[in-house]
Amino acid sequence: MMGTIVTIDVAANGSEDAVERAFGWFREIERLCNRFDSHSELRRLTAHPGVAVPASEMLYTAVEFALAVAEETGGAFDPTVGHQMATRGFNRDYRTGHIVSTDLEPDGPVSYRDVHLDPEQRTVTLLRPLVLDLGALAKGLAIDLAARELEPFEHYAIDAGGDLYLAGRNRGGELWSVGIRHPRRDREVIESLRVSNAAVCSSGDYERQGSGAGHHIIDPRNGSTADVVVSATVVAPTAMLADALATAAFVLGPVEGIRLLERHGVDGLLVSRTLDRFATRGMRSDYRFDRAASSALDRDPAVLPNA
């Protein structure tokens, strides 16, 4: 679902109905937010620039959250990158393999400032022709909604292609163990964490490649591939927050990215192209790191040079 494999592990009996409802949220969020599906609510919204379009509560919440992150990051995170993504080759529906095109052509550079929300009427207005892309947070939103269904069971794990929410303890009674993928060595981890009642989401340049040059994470401010870091992992109370901030921190790089995470009170680890590791203070104090990383981690990230 949502272009990946979703697994749910509940350490309790009698959870079958709740697990099915949890899986249902992934189908529902995809139905609402899929950029490639001409019948999705997101695509129907995109088809009416200049018109105040009523939105479902779920889609409105997702767009509102995306715009808030965009404002907070000065556009390093921006949900209006859909057309840029398509022109870079990220225009193929994973379900059918078909290339999906849109008749809308932006009449110049667009940004999150070209989207207007009316909270009273719960409408979304695209002030100019543009293509919204909620891929950087939709999976996190689905994970959070699934987790809500599973709350009564206390101990459970949701894994959507490596984006996680981990509650309580594992079946051995220990904190959940999370391996952070090594960005340059397949099937290896670069660090491991012990986590409970938190989401862990990562963005990496290894995840998706389009038909053109570069990976799928772009800097919306200039349209170029973001390449200062090669992976960003965020630990946060919710998966939607972790998902969005991982993308934003990836674009911002180790200095501004770490500042962003610490400003929001979440933890994170960024890995540069030279495989130096940069972490929030909370990550350094709460999780184990190997000795090879200590020289970089023990310094103030605010004074570290960009990789």
pLDDT at 207 over 50: yes
- Higher per-residue confidence, 212 vs 141: 141
Spatial CA neighbour of 183 closest among 307, 270, 267, 256:
270
Query: How many H-runs (helices) and E-runs (strands) does the chain carry?
Result: 8, 14
Cβ-based neighbour number of residue 307 at 10 Å: 18
Spatial CA neighbour of 115 closest among 102, 132, 133:
132
Cβ-based neighbour number of residue 98 at 10 Å: 10
Question: Tell me, what's the pLDDT at 208?
Answer: 53
Kindly calculate the radius of gyration of the chain based on its CA atoms and give it in whole angstroms.
Answer: 19
Cβ-based neighbour number of residue 303 at 10 Å: 7
Half-sphere exposure of 114 (CA within 13 A, CB side): 20
Looking at every residue in the chain, the average pLDDT score rounds to 85
How does strand 224-225 pair with strand 176-181? Answer: unpaired
- Enter the tokens of residue 178: 């999370």
d(CA 101, CA 99): 7
Query: What are the structural domains, with CATH classification, of the chain?
Result: 36-126 (1.10.3980.10), 175-303 (3.10.520.10)
pLDDT digits (tens, 9 = 90+) for 119-132: 999 999 999 999 99
- Enter the tokens of residue 87: 């022109």
Show Cβ contacts of residue 156 under 8 Å, excluding neighbours closer than 6 positions.
8, 9, 10, 11, 12, 15, 147, 150, 167, 168
pLDDT digits (tens, 9 = 90+) for 149-187: 999 999 999 999 999 999 999 999 999 999 998 988 888
Torsion of CA 139, 143, 148, 152, to 10 degrees: 170
Run of H or E residues at 236:
strand 229-236
72-98: average pLDDT: 78
